[in-house]
Amino acid sequence: PGFAASLMLTAYEKCLRRVSGGAPWQVVSRTDARVGTVHALRSMRGDLQLPAPSVVLADTLGGEEDPPEGTVAVITCSAVDVLSHVAVRARTMGVFLATCFDVEAFDALKDLAGKIVRVAAKADVVVVEESAIVGPDAGGSGGGAPQKKVCVSRPPPSADVWIDEDGIRAGRATGAKSRNLAALRAQLPDWIKLPSSAVVPHGVLARVLAAPENAQASSRLSDLSAQLKERHELVEALLTEIRDTIV
């Protein structure tokens, strides 16, 4: 219920802000001022090669993206969940991340494509203005700050098909987010009923695809994955087909 409510509120956030008279900005990852060259993109992918430091204007963000290396700020017109993957990665990497719910204002920012700008949050508003230089002297530590390297250890494949909440709390092949959600249950009052949870651990999909009856789906998935690396202009369509193949 909590996740469904979050999706619903995210979809209505733009309308709620307009009705309430609130600022059309949501700062998801707040940092010092950031300076970089503007790149306007339809979508953002972690494997993009952008000159550092870069300020990315992304038309859409689904929440599962990684900021490209060298990115110091990301602005999008998509509502971003503060607990989404891209939000967590932005905060971990020290990347400024904000949503602009005013489409006209966001489109105006695209006119700065190719220019050096300074991005800073002031109260509930994000200020984007042209800057003369790239570097700390242009304001804040963002322009020339090296990106933090985050090393993530992949857990070994699990022998379990699924893990219940007892296993989640024990940390068996689950991440910190799953463990935190399981621990949250113990903190809730009795009158809040939270549905039970389970986790499909790392390695299950590979075992399912290795089954003889799934040979055709496995082959198709390999082909689509290869196309994904070469046909960047078809990334959304290919990802949809990959999802449909797996499901």
What pLDDT score was predicted for residue 161?
Answer: 83
Higher pLDDT, 158 or 86: 86
Cα separation, 199 vs 178, in Å, equals 8
Crossing angle (nearest 10°) for helices 235-246 and 215-230: 170
Gap between the terminal Cα atoms of the chain: 23
Question: Using 50, 70 and 90 to split pLDDT, how confident is the model at 162?
Answer: confident
Q: What is the pLDDT of residues 164-189, one digit of tens each?
A: 877 777 766 677 777 777 888 888 88
Here the tokens at position 200 are 């499909």
pTM of this prediction exceeds 0.75: no
Residue 193 reports pLDDT greater than 90: no
Q: What is the pLDDT of residues 62-101, one digit of tens each?
A: 888 889 888 999 999 988 888 888 999 999 899 999 999 9
Domains of the chain, with CATH numbers? 2-138 (3.50.30.10)
Find where tokens 């599962």 sit: 64
What's the rounded mean pLDDT across residues 50-62?
A: 90
DSSP for 127-182? EEEE-S-SSGGGSSS-TTPPPPP---PPPPPPS-S-B-HHHHHTTSS--HHHHHHH
Are residues 220 and 241 in contact, defined by beta-carbon separation less than 8 angstroms?
no
**Cβ atoms within 10 Å of 105's Cβ, excluding its own:** 14
3-state secondary structure of 117: strand
Here the tokens at position 138 are 């242009």
